[in-house]
Chain A
Amino acid sequence: MNAPLFTEDLKLLNGNHAVAWGVCLAEPDVAPVYPITPQTPILEKLIDFESRGACQIELLTPESEHSAMAAAIAASATGARVFTATSSQGLLLMHELLHYASGARTPIVLFNVNRTPAAPWGFWPDQIDSLSQRDTGWVQLYSESPQESLDSVIQAFRIAEAVNLPVMVNHDAFYVSHSVEPVSIPDAGMVRDFLPRIPREIQLGDGTGRSLGAPIDQAAWNLTRREMDAAMKRVENVSEQAGSEWERLTGRPSAPLEFYRCEDAEIVYVTMGSMSGTVREVVDLLRESGVPAGLLKVRLFRPLPVQALRHALAGTSCAIVLDRNYSPGTGGVLHQELKAGLFGMENPPRVHGMLAGVGGVNVPVGSIAKLAADCRNAEQTAEPVWVE
């Protein structure tokens, strides 16, 4: 970790408030938001900031997340920097418009608090809400801690505006959203420089009279997806750069993938979000007992940095994927994604898919540690394993 270029304020904040701080620093122009547990504190904090004049945001409180996203898209297409936040049902209600947002190439930043979708009703950390939106064309980042959430939401604007794709940042309900820790608040000027206002090439009302999204033929529609594909391909690089600049400025590394004690690791745990903290403990324990284990934390899930993953896992014999999500009929989404990402690799690691913490259940350190022994010499299975 490098020394920060800026001195920062330290505040005790929960994950959601840290997000609100980050949003405030990113100075969006418009923020349509709709309440839902456990996202609500983000909304409330933003409104609190705005009403106290700490930031100037056009806050919209429509009747639904659907309308929030519609307004977000429209505002973004009109050239505004736009933020919104939601969780679970809200994100799912937005589904139609998530496609629209990316299709329209609107660089919106959305913060999603990962929560179980109904039925039955639950309010527990689980990433299936956002992972089931993986095909909507949004860049997805996952955060482990309040600090990382703050840092990520700022970086998200940088990435979104560089490639004109919307970015969704996620953190787990309660484990991150409501857990309090000391959070460094970056300098406002520094954030402003980090997020320069890039003039849009085209926007609604720019005097050209050009219209957005008019009915189109097949070939032209196809072309929009090819253009999105090209933009998605740039995301890894852009977020890499954003991360390293952020690290230079704040001292906090923010790469698409984060490695913990992965050098010479024979066993690598692969996970996202709050699970990473537990796994870090597990890795330390295993290392102490002589097991060469490491942690690969995926921050950038969409697009998955496939080459970096293959590079990182070369020489590893065993990858244990911990999925706090369940895609019925297949298993863990990260498991599927990783297997696909490693497809055709020379001497690939065996990939073990573990459904760990689905529905927000607590996964004790011991259970995770035990997986190392279970999997170290075991054959990989296509089927995921439910972790007790």
Chain B
Amino acid sequence: MNKHPSPLWTHLTSENRMTGTWRSALPNYQNQPSPCLGACPVHGHIAEWIKQVKDGDVYGAWVTLTENNPFPAIAGRICHHPCESACNRQHMDETVGICSLERFVGDTALAEGWQFSAPPTQETSVAVIGGGPAGLSAAYQLRRRGFRVALYETKDELGGLMRFGIPAYRLARSVLDGEINRITAMGVDLHLGVPAVDGAALETLQNSHDAVFLATGASLPKRLPALDYANPWVVDSADFLAAPVSEQTDRTGARVIVIGGGSAAMDVARSARRLGRSVTVLALEPEGRLPAQRIEVEEAVEEGVNFVHGAMMKSAEALGSGVVLNCVRVDFEPGDAPGAFSVEPLDGSDFELMADTIIPAIGQDADLARWSGVLDAKGPVVATGRDWQTSKPGLYAGGDVASMNRFVTQAVGMGKEAATAIAAALTPGDARPPANGAAQVAYDRINIAYHDTHGRNRQRNTEIEARLATFDEVQQPLGPNEARSEAARCFSCGTCIYCDNCYFYCPDMAITKLENGYVVNSDYCKGCGLCVAECPTGSIHMREDTSS
């Protein structure tokens, strides 16, 4: 194009003009954590694996998911899903059904028989005490890194409260077994049915292993002082839930009163309904304020559980073939700490309830006495510092024994974090990756023009009658099309989806597509920010740039 200059005819292209000098800010590509990731107790790469589901790569999604959580099918059923509460999509229509997608991925993996591959076992060995979600998560993470793992569990079966607490109608045992077996298949030295590990045994284990992870949960039921647990009509909730159905049937009369308003209380109440019992829940909290999740309460109501809110039992005594509960209405005041509260009985509001069986379900404590003198405690739990290390070097603790965040995925997350710390401590020169300090992607960074309004694809529950007849799972999974459609609702906050919008919207052709990403040409970028504004995922932001 460059012949001889003429004042009339152009002979150069504008590429000779460096408009980059106009700029005061330059776009910067940076994948940033999504709010769901921030809220997720295992910090799963949610945006990433959901995109894989959307793209039809369920195996890839499972691989991504199980980097942080070996229990997608379990978590997909019973996780309290704080990720969904944080999801950006709620500001547009409804949160993404992350949990239902997780279940879809987990179920697919079980159906397909996908297995974890583990590197050959090294000599370095770690003892894990407790086969609940915390212990299994740690065992899994350690095996992935090649460590030898010895797992000590008093029960004959693994799973902890996932097996002996959460009822089968919420978590099918085949699912539980499938996901646990996949971990043990990685090569874990299992010691089942061992005597409860105590302070002395701990020291022994510490001597025979390079590190120890303590994950014994919280197995001591809290007790109501007003109730004599020796009575045959008092059944502890933990025992009740841990028992097989036949035993549950034997131990309950026709009228069951469950004391407590949390998840365990709901599980007891709903299990008892499945035994054909008439069930009343007596809770301190007023209606709508129960600590159990709203959906659990709703489903309990659907299943015919009666609720007596804002009241407490003062005493109980046998009367004829049954029991009479002397109750009083209370003024309930929540405290500052999670779970803390105070109650004030209301004068003259006494009333009575009749029952055949009382099942108190008011929580469980960690058995700290077992470690007294060996481990420091912090309040109701074992004290831990950074990386979940206890007061004994080389001894780590996580899950319900070390935290009041009492959820399965919290336990999984703690197991993962402790395992990562143990691995780092046992691998010379392996510094822990620095914490990713990048800010989470806020809703206003998402250009919602590229996301169509579309309500959530909901999982359905089985009919109520059918539910009450068995302990089969209530919640039905999303089908593959629904799952794809649900995955497509995800904004992919902070995770580039290579949609090319930034490339296409630059008026200055200052973005070049690379094989796997994009680069901004600072010779021409004028710093307008259009690329950022039109990004549907919030994966680019403007950064001040005064270089030119």
Contact = CB atoms under 8 A, between A and B. Distances in A.
B295 interface: no
Interface string B492-528: 0000000000000000000000000000000000000
B6 A214 contact: no
Contacts, number: 26
B10 A210 contact: yes
B403 to A, nearest CB: 69
| Most chain B CB inside 10 Å of its own CB: which residue of A105, A210, A212 | A210
Interface in B1-32: 1, 3, 6-11
A43 B502 CA distance: 55
A104 B8 contact: yes
Nearest to A202: B9
Interface residues of A, number: 17
Contacts of B1: 208-210
Interface residues of B, number: 8
A213 B3 contact: no
A216 interface: yes
Contacts of A220: 7
Contact of B7 (A202, A209, A216): A216
A335 B542 CA distance: 70
Contacts of B8: 103-105, 212-213, 224
A212 B7 contact: no
Nearest to B10: A211
Nearest to B5: A220
Contact of B3 (A104, A208, A211, A212): A208
A223 B7 contact: yes
Nearest to B3: A208
Contacts of B9: 202, 210-212
B3 A227 contact: no
B10 A202 contact: no
Contacts of A214: 10
Interface in B295-336: none
A378 B1 CA distance: 64
A97 to B, nearest CB: 16
B3 A224 contact: no
A204 to B, nearest CB: 9
B26 to A, nearest CB: 29
Interface string A217-229: 0001101100100
Contacts of A224: 7-8
Nearest to A103: B8
Contacts of A221: 7
Contacts of A202: 3, 6, 9
A318 B3 CA distance: 53
A227 B10 CA distance: 16
Nearest to A209: B1
A214 B14 CA distance: 12
B17 to A, nearest CB: 13
A202 B6 CA distance: 10
Contacts of B10: 210-211, 214
Contacts of A104: 8
Nearest to B11: A210
Contacts of B11: 210
Contacts of A211: 9-10
A213 B7 CA distance: 8
B159 to A, nearest CB: 72
Interface of A: 103-105, 202, 208-214, 216, 220-221, 223-224, 227
Given A211-B9, A212-B8, A220-B7, 17 more contacts: A103-B8, A104-B8, A202-B9, A208-B3, A209-B1, A210-B1, A210-B9, A210-B10, A210-B11, A212-B9, A213-B8, A214-B10, A216-B7, A221-B7, A223-B7, A224-B8, A227-B7
17 contacts: A103-B8, A104-B8, A105-B8, A202-B3, A208-B1, A208-B3, A210-B1, A210-B9, A211-B10, A212-B8, A212-B9, A214-B10, A216-B7, A220-B7, A221-B7, A224-B8, A227-B7
